[in-house]
Amino acid sequence: MLVKLGVNSGFGAKSCIYMLASSAVLRRQQLVIRCLGVGGYSNHNINTNQKPMQGVGFSSGASLEADVENVLRAITPTLDPNRHKGQAGNIAVIGGCREYTGAPYFAAISALKIVSLINESISFSSQGADLSHVFCTRDAASVIKSYSPELIVHPILEESYSVRDEDKSFILEKVLGEVDKWMERFDCLVIGPGLGRDPFLLDCVSKIIKHARQSNVPIVIDGDGLFLITNCLDLVSGYHLAVLTPNVNEYKRLVQKVLSCEVNDEDAREQLLSLAKRIGGVTILRKGKADLISDGEIVESVSIYGSPRRCGGQGDILSGSVAVFLSWARQIVTDENLSISSRNPTMLGCIAGSTLMRKAASLAFENKKRSTLTTDIIECLGRSLQDICPVP
């Protein structure tokens, strides 16, 4: 269950209930608290077979589906016509090479598709992700640009075949210098979609990850970024603003590397909890029939919505979505002066991103059935968010 109040919440449970009606700000704070699995290990599963929650009382029989949608409502900002371009947030995707150009596009365009929708119960100083960047190799840049004019594409990455050994140090510094020009503007990085496994390219990305940590920029790692991380855990170990989004095979390799055992589906929650804790408090979103999420302190499960059609590219949509919601959730924590350690924005971002992705996939499947493609799911992102956070 996503609702858990504990001693770390900073509010007396009984007093908060009486205070809810007195202030819109307090109502919003209480909503955020309810959405965070604060206080320890959570065993609850979110599904579509439960009825909406009534009131603010919590019990073992309370609805869990309502909690998931409350996460989306709590962290989705309002539209504000007074805000200018870019003030709503910037997401950057690090990935894209000769062989793989679709994945970084899917992640970047998904971030743009998740537009801010009005929810009168909350008000934010930011509007959402309205700029999306892709840092890729030169070979991939023109292709990605042709997919969409909305993306800002930076053709700065290099693969080994195009760099002489004696020039690698110079090229590496040049790449880092270009990324450094933009780093402070980014609200989140998505690292790995379409990255490939070229050694020099991975070396460049390793340096970018280190720089993001120094700049305190959240990172979502997917695809070949997980291949890099699995072989160099120190890149994310202990970084609480890092999110890993492994699929079945990527999760298997992580478990074997970190826990020195095989995946145990019968004890999946405890194993995921141990894995996140062992890596150092990163948040792991294990993709599957039900998405399991843990930051090493609690475990949540999202199984609401979904589609039987498993077309390639859904993970890229998820990583882009999580990046947006993570940046919004982090802004909530900052604006409300709440403790990040007890109210983890990465958990909120994963829960919201997973829910929206699954709902969009279910809507796309209703329309296209077996012919559903990744692009069909992307087109359903706006409708999915509108259904949960409607604009009047």
Instruction: Encode pLDDT of 236-290 as tens digits.
Output: 999 999 999 999 999 999 999 999 999 999 999 999 999 999 999 899 999 999 9
Single-letter amino acid, residue 53:
M
Give the pLDDT band (50/70/90) at residue 389. confident
Instruction: Compute CA 4 distance to the chain's CA centroid, rounded to the nearest angstrom.
Output: 21
What ranges do the domains of the chain cover?
80-299+315-335
d(C-alpha 386, C-alpha 392), whole Å: 10
Closest CA to 104 of 132, 128, 129, 130: 132
- Look at 201 and 281; give whichever has higher pLDDT: 201
Per the DSSP assignment, residues forming a β-bridge with 132 are 91
Task: Say if residues 306 and 358 touch (Cβ distance below 8 Å).
Answer: yes
What's the CATH number of domain 80-299+315-335, 3.40.50.170, 3.40.1190.20, 3.40.50.150, 3.30.565.10? 3.40.1190.20
Query: What pLDDT does residue 335 have?
Result: 55
Mean pLDDT along residues 118-142? 65
CA-based nearest residue to 187, from 223, 246, 133, 245: 133
pLDDT band at 72 (very low <50, low <70, confident <90, very high): confident
Give the mean pLDDT of 203-216: 96
Say if CB 262 and CB 341 are below 8 A apart. no
Q: Compute the mean pLDDT over every residue in the chain, rounded to the nearest whole number.
A: 80
CA distances from 276 to 19, 45, 220, 273, 353 (A): 36, 19, 14, 5, 19
Read off the pLDDT of residues 176-198 as tens digits, 9 standing for 90 and up: 999 999 999 999 999 999 999 99
Please give the average per-residue pLDDT across 305-334, as a whole number: 89
| Confidence at residue 109, expressed as pLDDT on a 0 to 100 scale | 95
pLDDT band of residue 68 (cuts 50, 70, 90) is: confident
Average pLDDT over residues 21-35: 44
Question: Could you say which DSSP state residue 216 is in?
Answer: T
Closest to 295 (Cα-Cα) out of 279, 282, 313, 309: 282
The model's pLDDT over 331-379, given as tens digits with 9 standing for 90+, comes to 876 555 444 334 689 999 999 999 999 999 999 999 999 999 999 999 9
- Residues 100-111 have pLDDT tens digits of 999 999 999 999
What value does the mean pLDDT take over residues 115-126? Answer: 37
| Between residues 50 and 59, the one the model is more confident about | 50
What per-residue confidence (pLDDT) applies to 391?
Answer: 72
Highest mean pLDDT, choosing among 66-75, 79-88, 126-135, 372-381? 372-381
Is pLDDT above 60 for 12?
Answer: no
Nearest to 227, CA basis, from 211, 244, 204: 244
Q: The pTM is what?
A: 0.81
pLDDT at 69 over 50: yes
